[in-house]
Each structure stands twice: as structure tokens, then as C-alpha cells.
Structure 1
């Protein structure tokens, strides 16, 4: 059965990383295999800066950035292929020139449309180089354009998948010839052929879309970490790896701030009971972590998720009326319109408390809007501590010496909001 592998930007950031990717894939001769690849390193950031230069009418800055993009990718081609570089370099040059033409063609279009016609070139460039390198090293490969496979609506920067049309196109792929397929993450296209992007964690989502439509046996996401942990190892000194968790548990962890797989990636896999494994591309002997149907090990160890740079809003009706369903509907509707997520929501008789990311461009207009109609109290500089499967002793230890500003708890999750100044740089989960 088909396997789907996904590689992020770190695994193709330069020539050395692409060579390592080739060695890794050579260890997996089973076919069919579909490989989904992100843009190289920080290319997406570079393309966003290029877009800003194009739209701000800064031609010199635009040209400098375009040439830097060309130079960086051609340098990778030269480092990989040496004297055999010319055919691949021509393909890279053609893509850069097409990017330049599209900027001129779409300079007056709305930004989300222009964004998608620009940023897609990061994945097109990386996969062109990767597919050529794999073929050059003897791994029979075929480059596939994800824009011809994943059909979406025209909601640019957050496109929704047309599942019926996508399934028809993906299933038309002939994977029986033993060739490895290399395609792009993060991008699709409208039926008219306009490029679109799939939003947050779009490359992982691309792998899940293809796996769902192909009825794949499994998906593997290759990262620079050995798997999923019960806490961020950079912030918790005794974080432990989770070998297996269920789809439900992974979604709950993601909702509460864990940097695990995004729920939109898991949904199409859960529908087909396709397991997803996170593995290290740096250490192939590491066992990895698997998300699937098996829930037997959920909750064996507590999980700690830290959401930093948080703002607490306490919202009250000005006439001291109840915070009833109509008020909550109005407030939460404004939250949705602002594009903000509330990590903690707590309602009382006359107030609604919201803990939000301190995202100035989105938060400030929301606060101003609410202040027109409600009494709003605000506190910034907070850390939201989310604990899954923690007992009373653990919660007491994590809260010791800290002022709890808001709290919620149910049977499996506790949330507490503390001043960031009272939170350590490194946390420890008591035994």
C-alpha cells in the first residue's frame, strides 16, 4: 500500500540536507511512495518580503530580493550537481522568471490573491531541485505539481479543499510504475488554475489530503525532533516522548497549545484510520511517535502546555445586566471576526473572561470594538498553563508561589493563568 512522507523546510534547507534526504529515502525502497516537500529553509519568509517590496513600489528592494532568491537556489543546484547543473539550473531560472512575471501581472490585485501567486514558488523551487537530485542519484522519481492535484476554493491564504474533485485527480495518478512521486506541501489551485495556499500547517495537511484520497497505509512526518513530547523539551527539563497517542488526545493537546500536529491534518487521517508517525530525519534509529486509533496509553503521563504572551480580558455589560447567551454570542462573534483564538473562556453571571494571544494587529481593534459597548478590563504579560491528566499534587506544585488570575478545570484538563514574571524560564514536572 501507498506510504506518504512529508519533509519540512529544515530537511531541505541546503545541499547537504538534500543529500541526506536522498540517503534517507534510499533506505525505504517500498513503493508506492509519495513525498511531500516544503520550501527550503526560510524561503517562505523571503518570498513574503519580496511580496512586500513589490506591493510597496520599491523596485530596487524588489530586484535585490529576487536576485538573492535566484542566487541562493542556484548555489544549491551548483553544490549538488557540479558540472551536471545546467539542466536543473535552467528549470530553476524558468521558475524565478515566472515568479517575476506574475508579480508584474498581479501587482494591482488584492493582497491574499497576490500572496498565493507568490509564495507557492518556494515549494515549486524546492521540489524541482529535490526531484532532480533523487533522479540523479538513481532513485527513479517523478515531479508532480500539487496545483494539479489539490483542488480548492478561492479563499486565498486559507483555501478549503474540494474533496470530490481532489479525490478524482489524485486517484488518477498511476503509482504502479515504481517511481517515487515528489510533490509540494502547502499549495493547491482553484478549478481555474489560480494558485492557493492551505493556511497554517499547510504542508502537513497536504500530506494528509493525499493520504486520504489514496487510501494510504500510513503517513510519516519527518522532523528535527524524535517525536511528540508531553511538554516542550526546550522549556520543560524532564519532558518525555509519547510513543503512541490517539487522534482525540493529539487534537486535545493541539487545542491547548502543544506544538503537535494540527487538527485539520488529523481529521482526514482519522476518517480513514490512517496512522501518522512523527520521526527524526537526523536519527533514523529513533522510534518516533504514532498518532492513531489506539487510546490505551492516553493519559499515562501528564502533559504541560505553556501559552505565553497572553492577554486577559474581563468583559461586563455596562448596565450590570446578566452576561446572557445574547451577550456571549455577540462577544464571541467579534472574536471570530478578529481571527483570534481564546485559550481560556470563563463565564460568570455578569462577566465573560477571555484569555487571548497578544497579537497587536488583531487584538487592539477587538478591544476597541468591545469597549464601545461593554466595560472591559485588560491585563497583559501573562502565561496560560494547561495541564492534561494532572493530579492535585501536580497542580499545587505548578502553582506554588504564583498568583492565579483565572482558572478552569474539568475531568482531564486544568488551566491556570499566571503573570509571566512569576513563571520560570525552565519548568519541571514533579514526579
Structure 2
């Protein structure tokens, strides 16, 4: 059965990384194999800056940035192929020329449309080079344009997949002939041929879409870390790696702020019970972390999520009335309109408490709106700690010496809101 591998920009950032990718894939001779590749390194950032220069009517800056993009990719081609670089270099040159033509053609269009016609070239360039290198080292490939496989609507920068049309096109991949299919993450195309992008975590989502349509055996996302952890290792000095968790648990962790796989990636895999494994492209022998259909291992170790730069709003009716369903509906509706997510919601008879991201452009209009109709007490500079599957002793250790401004608990989850000044730069999970 088909396997789908996804490689991010860090795993193909330069010629050495692409060589390493070739050696890694040589360890997996089983076919069929579909390889989804992101743009190289910081290429998407460079393309966004190129777009800004094009739309800012700064032709000199635009030309400088386009030439830098061209030189960087050609330097990678030269480092990989040496004297035999010409055929690949010509394909790279053709893509750069096409990018330039599209900028001229779409300069007057709305920015989201123009954005999608620009940033897609990062993945087109990277996969052109990667596919050619894999052929060079004896791993025969077929390069496929994801814009012709993944059909979307025209909601640019956050396109929605047309699943029926996509499934029909993906079935035409004919993955059974022994060649590795190499395609792009993050991008798709409308039925009329306009380029689109899939939004946040789009490359992971691409791998899930293809796996779903191919009824794949599994998806592997290769990262520069060995797997998924029960806490951010940069903030918790004794974080441990998950061996296996369920789709539903991974979605819970993401909802509470963990940097795990995005729920939109997990949904199409969960529908067909296709496991997703995160592995290290740096250390092939390191065991990975798998997200699958069973929940047997959920709760084996507690998980910890931090949300910093939080604001607590305590909202009460002016007339000392109940905070009933009608008032809660009104307040939460305003929250939706503001585009804010409440990491913690706690209701009392005459009070509704909301813990929100301190996003000034969104938060301040919301606060002003609420203050017009309710009594509002606001606290800033807070940290929200969420713990999945806690024990009483664990919670006592985490909260010791800190004022708890708000808390919420249920059978599987506890949340504490602290002053940020009372929180350490590096946390330690109590034994």
C-alpha cells in the first residue's frame, strides 16, 4: 500500500540537506511512495518580500529580490549537479521567468489572488530540484504539479478542497509503476487553473489529502525533532516524547495551544484511520511518535500547554442580573466577530470570565464593546497553563507559590491562569 512522506523546508534547505534526503529515501525501497515537499528554507518569506516589492511599485527592489531568488536556487543546483547542472538549471530559469511574467500579469489584482500566484513558486522550484536529484542518485521519480491534483475553490490564501474532484485527479497518479511521485505541499489550483494556497500547515495538509484520496497505509512527516512531546522542550526541561496518541487527543492538544499537527491535517486521516507518524530526518534510527485511531495510550503521560500574553476579562451585567444564556450568547457572539479564541471560559451566576490572547488590534475593540453594556474587570500579562491527565500532586506542584487567578477542571483537563511575572522562564514538571 501507498506511503506518503512529507518534508518541510528545513529538510531541503541547501544542497547538503537534499543529498541527505536522497540517502534517507534510499532506506525505503518499498513502493508506492508519494513525497510531498515544501519550499526550501526561507523561500516563502523571500517570495512574500518579492510580492511586497512588486505591489509597492519599487522596481529596483523587486529586481534585486528576484535575482537573489534566482541565484540562490541556481547555486543549489550547481552544488548538487556540478558539470551536469544545465538541464536542471534551465528548468529553474524557466520557473523564475514564469514567476516574473505572472507578477506583471497580476500586479493590478487583489492581494490574496496575487499572493497565491507568487508563493506557489517556492514549492515548484524546490520539487524541481529535489526530483532531479533523486533521479540523479537512482531513485526514479515522476514530478507532478499539485495544482493539477488538488482542486480547490477560489478562497485565496485559505482555499477549501473540492474533495470529489481531487479524488478523481489523484486516482490518476498511477502510483503502482515503481516511481516515486514528487509533488508540492501547500498549493492547489482552481478548476479554471488559478493557483491557490491551503493556509496554515498547508504542506502537512497536502500529505493528508493525498493519503486520504489514495487510501494510503500511512503518512510520515519528517522533522528536525524526533517526534511529538508532552510539553514544549524549549520551555519544560524534562519534557518527554509521546510514543503514540489518538487523533482525538492530538486535536485536544492542538486546541489548547500545543504545537502538534493541525486538526485540519488530522481530519482526513482520521476519517480513513490512516496513522500519521512524526520522525526525525536527522536521526533515522530514532523512534517516532504516531497519531492513530486507538486511544489506549492517551494519558500514559500528562501533557502541558502554555499560552502566554493572555488577558482575563471578568464580565458582569450592570443590573446585577443573572449571566444567563442570552447574555452569554451575546458576549460569545462578539468574541467570534472579533476573531478571538477563548482559551478558558468560566461562568458563574452573575459572571462570565474569558481568557483571551492579548492581540491589541482585535482585543481593544472587543473590550470597548463589552464595556458599553457590561461591567468589565480586565487583567493583563497572564499565562494560561493547561494540563491533560493531571494528578492532584502534579497540580499542587505546578501551582505552588503562584496566585491562581482563574481555574477550570474536568475529568481529563485542568487549567490555571497565573500572573506571568510569577512563571519561570523554564518550567520543570514535578515528579
**Residue of structure 1 equivalent to 2:139:** 139
Q: Please, which runs of 5 or more residues in structure 2 have no aligned partner? A: none
TM-score by length of 2: 0.96
Say which is worse superposed, 255-264 or 344-353, in terms of deviation.
Answer: 344-353
Q: How does 1:248-287 map to 2 (within 5 A)?
A: 248-287=248-287
Partner of 1:194: 194
Which residue does 2:123 correspond to in 1?
Answer: 123
**Residue segments in structure 1 that go unaligned for 5+ positions in a row:** none
Q: Residues 365 and 67 from structure 1, CA distance in 2 versus in 1: closer, same or farther, beyond 3 angstroms? A: farther
Shift of 1:33: 0.2
Q: Deviations over 1:83-134 (max 9, x none)?
A: 1111111111221222222222222222221211111111111111111111
Query: Match for residue 424 of structure 2?
Result: 424
* Whole-angstrom distance in 2 between the partners of 1:300 and 1:265: 24
Q: Which residue of 2 aligns with 1:402?
A: 402
Provide the TM-score with structure 1 as the length reference. 0.96
2:307 and 2:210 mapped to 1: Cα distance? 32
The 2-side partners of 1:60 and 1:370 are apart by 48
The 3-state SS of whatever aligns with 2:291 is: strand
In structure 2, the partner of 1:5 is 5
RMSD, aligned CA: 1.5
CA contact (8 A) 1:244 1:294 kept: no
Q: Please state how far the C-alpha of 1:407 moved relative to its aligned partner.
A: 1.1
1:196-345 matches, cutoff 5 A: 196-345=196-345
Structure 2: how far apart are the matches of 1:88 and 1:362? 47
Q: 1:190 to 1:292 in 2, by over 3 A?
A: same
Go from structure 1 to structure 2 and tell me whether the alpha carbon gap of 1:360 and 1:13 turns closer, same or farther (over 3 Å shift). farther
Match of 1:379 in 2: 379
Deviations 1:254-280 (A, max 9, x none): 111111111111111111111111100
Question: Which SS does the other structure have where 1:347 is aligned?
Answer: strand
The CA deviation at 1:207 is: 0.4
Once residues 99 and 350 of structure 2 are traced to their aligned partners in structure 1, the CA distance between those partners, rounded to angstroms, is 54
Judge conservation of contact 1:245–1:297 (CA < 8 Å) in 2.
yes
Partners of 2:229 and 2:305 in 1: CA distance: 10
**Secondary structure of 1:332's match?**
helix
Q: Distance in 2 between matches of 1:290 and 1:159?
A: 28
Partner of 1:18: 18
Equivalent-residue separation in structure 1 for 2:331 and 2:293 (angstroms):
36
Deviations 1:175-219 (A, max 9, x none): 121100011111111111111111111111110000000000000
Deviates more, 1:363-372 or 1:111-120: 363-372
Q: Distance in 2 between matches of 1:323 and 1:279?
A: 48
Give 2:73's aligned residue: 73
- Inter-partner Cα distance in structure 1 for 2:209 and 2:383: 34
Check 1:328–1:112 CA distance in 2 against 1; reply closer, same or farther (3 A cut): farther
User: Quick one: structure 1 residues 193 and 336, their matched pair in 2 at CA, closer, same or farther if it must change by over 3 Å?
Assistant: farther
- The reply on whether 1:165 has 2:165 as its aligned counterpart is yes
